[in-house]
């Protein structure tokens, strides 16, 4: 006879669940006071303020390009981490204005600095092979900053092999403004951003959150739709076109199954209108498709986006036109 099969072994009793990790309060550790406040990112054009905002938020809400003065209005992004809420304010790059629009952009940036609880002055690190001295315009800007707690963020340090070249910059900036901290960063690679957040956190006032914890921005969707269209114009067109372009949302209808959005693009010259439309409308089709995809990504739903191009000569120096287009 074949041997009788063995009875299966009795199952082992289940292991007791691991005790839950006590939170900070249970450990008797103070997690720290609730802090929140507005943090203005200040600097010249093209130093990486918008890239830094996107890196800090982990979301590309600010448009970026290689063109100077890409940011025309303040862009606000909210980051909530534990007991801290940062309300970052990306600002237009401070520059020598040539138009009324340029003056308005500078005024907007300076007002944001005055309204902030903390400032982050963003400057560029010197490049290898160049004299390790700061840009005079950066030093002048540092000397004009309001008496607000300020962190100096030296961006693009990933492009500098010899970090000792930063020392002359530190000394020069220390002579123009009192900085609470100096943080070398690479906004593009998100290097140094964690330390920047820690330094800024200690400077924020102790107060309740300004927004709900899941808020990404307090600005309306219409604002971002216009920005996303302008972003694609910056990426797709020639050097001279972007500076003369303004974008405004004329219709945002969500009554149907699919939101219907109509956008007007104002250009400073008739020739720019032809460039934007392109041969057989191909350029505008490319711009519209890419902008629509950005909008749909933000809204997590499909939209119908229609773009019109209008020649509006002189709008950058016309007070009435500037007000119509939201620059007032």
DSSP count for the chain of H helices, then E strands: 10, 9
Bridge partners, 257 (sequence order):
none
Cα angle 124-126-128, degrees, rounded to a multiple of 5: 140
Cα angle 317-323-324, degrees, rounded to a multiple of 5: 105
Residue 219 has pLDDT above 80, yes or no: yes
Dig out the tokens for 28 from the structure: 């008797």
Q: Average pLDDT in the 4-31 region?
A: 43
- CA 58/CA 39 separation, integer angstroms: 16
pLDDT in tens, 261-316: 999 999 999 999 999 999 999 999 999 999 999 999 999 999 999 999 999 999 99
- CA 9/CA 206 separation, integer angstroms: 61
pLDDT in tens, 148-203: 999 999 999 999 988 888 998 999 999 999 999 999 999 999 999 999 999 999 99
Residue 122 has pLDDT above 80, yes or no: yes
- CA 180/CA 167 separation, integer angstroms: 17
Residue 23 has pLDDT above 50, yes or no: no
Cα angle 208-209-212, degrees, rounded to a multiple of 5: 140
Q: Pairing relation of β-strands 304-311 and 245-253?
A: unpaired
Q: Pairing relation of β-strands 75-81 and 181-184?
A: unpaired
Which residues make Cβ contacts (< 8 Å) with residue 302, sequence separation at least 6? 258, 296
Cβ atoms within 10 Å of 97's Cβ, excluding its own? 14
End-to-end CA distance of the chain: 99
User: How distant, in Å, are the alpha carbons of 9, 76, 133 from that of 12?
Assistant: 9, 57, 71
pLDDT in tens, 64-104: 988 888 999 999 999 999 999 999 999 999 999 999 999 99
Q: Residue 89: which of 39, 142, 54 has the closest Cα?
A: 39
Domains, the chain, with CATH or none:
35-201 (3.40.50.300), 221-324 (3.30.300.20)
What's residue 78's pLDDT? 98
In eight-state DSSP terms, residue 188 is: T
Of 207 and 130, which is predicted with more confidence? Answer: 207
> Which pTM was predicted?
0.88
Cβ-contact 49, 90 below 8 angstroms: yes
Q: What percent of the chain has pLDDT over 90?
A: 80
* 3-class secondary structure, 260: strand
């Amino acid at each position: 006879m074949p041997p009788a099969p063995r009875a299966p072994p009795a199952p082992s009793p289940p292991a007791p669940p691991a005790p839950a990790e006590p939170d900070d309060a249970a450990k008797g550790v103070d997690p720290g006071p609730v802090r929140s406040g507005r943090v203005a990112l200040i600097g010249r054009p093209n130093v990486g303020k918008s890239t830094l905002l996107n890196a800090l938020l982990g979301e590309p809400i600010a448009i970026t390009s290689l063109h100077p003065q890409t940011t025309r209005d303040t862009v606000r992004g909210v980051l909530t981490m534990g007991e801290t809420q940062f309300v970052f304010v990306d600002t237009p790059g401070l520059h020598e204005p040539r138009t009324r629009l340029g003056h308005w952009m500078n005024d907007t940036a300076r007002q944001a600095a005055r309204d902030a609880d903390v400032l982050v002055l963003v400057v560029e690190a010197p490049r290898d092979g160049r004299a390790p001295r700061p840009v005079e315009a950066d030093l002048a800007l540092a000397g004009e900053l309001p008496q607000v707690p300020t962190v100096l963020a030296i961006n693009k340090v990933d492009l500098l092999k010899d970090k000792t070249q930063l020392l002359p910059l530190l000394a020069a900036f220390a002579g123009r403004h009192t900085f609470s901290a100096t943080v070398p960063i690479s906004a593009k690679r998100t290097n140094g951003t964690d330390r920047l957040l820690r330094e800024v956190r200690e400077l924020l006032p102790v107060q309740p959150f300004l927004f709900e914890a899941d808020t990404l921005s307090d600005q309306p969707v219409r604002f971002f739709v216009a920005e996303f269209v302008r972003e694609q114009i910056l990426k797709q067109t020639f050097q001279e076109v972007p500076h003369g372009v303004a974008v405004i949302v004329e219709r945002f209808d969500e009554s149907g199954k699919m939101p219907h959005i109509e956008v007007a693009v104002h250009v400073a010259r008739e020739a720019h209108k032809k460039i934007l439309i392109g041969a057989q409308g191909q350029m505008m089709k490319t711009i519209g498709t890419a902008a629509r995809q950005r909008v749909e990504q933000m809204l997590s739903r499909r939209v119908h986006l229609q773009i019109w191009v209008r020649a509006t000569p002189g709008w950058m120096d016309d007070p009435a036109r500037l007000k119509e287009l939201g620059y007032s």
